Amino acid sequence: NISVSLGQPRSINVNVVGEVESPGPTTVSAFSNVFNVIARAGGVTEFGNLRSIQLKRSGRVIDEIDVYKYLTTGDFGKHIYLQNNDFVVVGFVEKKVLATGQFKRPMYYQLKKDEGVKALIGFAGGLNADALASALKVLRTENEKQVQRDVNANAIMKISGQDFLLQDGDIVKVDVIKPGILNKVELRGEVTYPSVYELRPNDKLFDVINRAGGVTRNTYLPRAYIFRGAGDSTNLQSERLEINLSDFNKGNINSLNNVTLMPNDVILLFSQSEFGEQQFVEIYGEVRRQGKVQKYGGMSLQDLLYLSGGIKPTAEYGRLEISSIVDIDSAKHGLKPTRTVVRSYAILPDLQLDSAAANVELRPFDQIFVRKNPTFELQQNVEIRGLVRYPGKYPRLSKYERLSSFIERAGGMVDNANLAGAVLFRNKTDLFREKIVEKLVLDSNGLPVIDSASTAYKAIDEPVSIDLYKALKYKNSKHDIVLQENDVVVVPEINPFISVEGTVQSPLKIAYDKEHSNLMYYI
């Protein structure tokens, strides 16, 4: 029996020359390869050729190692073992190219003489998804001038594609594609679901409107706009097409208005309220909400009365008038002079209209007047506050009841009442009136919605100077004024103190002393 055991492997001397950090002889194990030797020499410099590292033996090249091939495929080559006195030669880089832009690994790469764009894209890991591969740019120097060559990388990367050879010093740049979706159109305005939609092949206007849920009951059909390419932010001057959508509701897909759409078109649909002619009717007088109301189709006199809150109890029976413009279309176009006709209708004792009057259809710009019953008035109250015996609200006994009468009905003054400080607050609506114009709002069912909080006038209270002492002493005089509905009379308490404030030693309140009326006494 023979037993063989391996002791320590033998060492060999190998020479490393060329573009390495520490060229010269080095001692390595006999099992070492070229990579081990280069590592012992400190690695390759930035000018070293990684594409063709030569192994020389007895003055003859016996192998060439391509580092890129090993790194990308794992193929080391022939696996030739080193021998004593072998030479590893790292030459100078032959062709160095910069890959920049939308490469997955943008950096410098070394190429062989016969390699071009196809190899560069492979070494760089390919192109990014948003790379403009059809217009790859090669910047190079030719005859001492910088030139640019445009290359279609999509064509090159095909199996049968012809490569574009690169030169030393070339800069290969790949731009990013222009941002923005091309196969889209946008629907805006009075459509069921306004949004951005995919533009499919051969899509027409009616196709996209149908995908958006169709038009609404408030869509203005006689006119819509298509802005060609307006969805592209770089398109500063888009063409505008005027479209009539009347054929859409008729289902006429062969209509000339059913145009073929283009990428980034913006379609704008209008609502009747914003694009159609605004038509109003007006109602004034003894109703709960006066002012303008937007007219809708088929609005009757009874409809308007409901929208205005109904007729007040103070309305005069049989006194409702409608003022209308005769032949409004001819008047608007100047074909005939404007003429007005007034029609009168009866209000029944239950404050309702008879059937004939209730169903009268209103015309645009009609004005309705509900007259007031001159002999009927609701209670009108005046409020007395402060130092009277029975403060509270008191109804007016007549239109001409004066201040002194209300004070007497309130039980007169109490001991501490300050007559000189009494103030009257009067509602300012008789001097300042702000009309509130009501715009008719339609709900999802097309029914009008009215804000119940609307009022006909905006009330503002203002103080009015009165001399309560003279009013009580000289009754029915000019000082004893007639009070109006909603007047408020405030009688304050006598303040027996004098306040001393500001830059004094001790700010405080001091009881008034009739024997000391001099200012400096209190200071």
pLDDT of residue 434: 41
Question: Are 153 and 232 in a shared domain?
Answer: no
pLDDT of residue 166: 96
Question: Are 76 and 26 in a shared domain?
Answer: yes
Question: Are 409 and 489 in a shared domain?
Answer: yes
In 327-402, which residue ranges form alpha helices assigned H by DSSP?
328-332, 355-358
Q: Which parts of the chain have pLDDT scores under 50? A: 430-459
Task: Write the burial class of residue 225 (CB in 10 Å: 0-12 exposed, 13-18 middle, 19+ buried).
Answer: middle
pLDDT of residue 450: 44
pLDDT of residue 384: 95
CA distance 122 to 143: 29
pLDDT of residue 515: 74
Domain boundary among 313, 340, 372: 372
Domain boundary among 231, 249, 275: 275
CA distance 234 to 365: 46
Question: Are 188 and 259 in a shared domain?
Answer: yes
Count CB-CB contacts under 10 A for residue 242: 10
pLDDT of residue 444: 44
Instruction: Output the domain CATH number for residue 39.
Output: 3.10.560.10
pLDDT of residue 483: 94
Domain span holding position 470: 379-422+466-523
pLDDT of residue 496: 77
3-state secondary structure (DSSP) of residue 328: helix
Question: Are 356 and 386 in a shared domain?
Answer: no
The β-bridge partners of 29 are 11
On whether the CB atoms of residues 221 and 276 are closer than 8 A, the answer is no
Number of domains in the chain: 5
Domain boundary among 57, 92, 127: 92
In 256-398, which residue ranges form alpha helices assigned H by DSSP?
272-275, 301-307, 328-332, 355-358
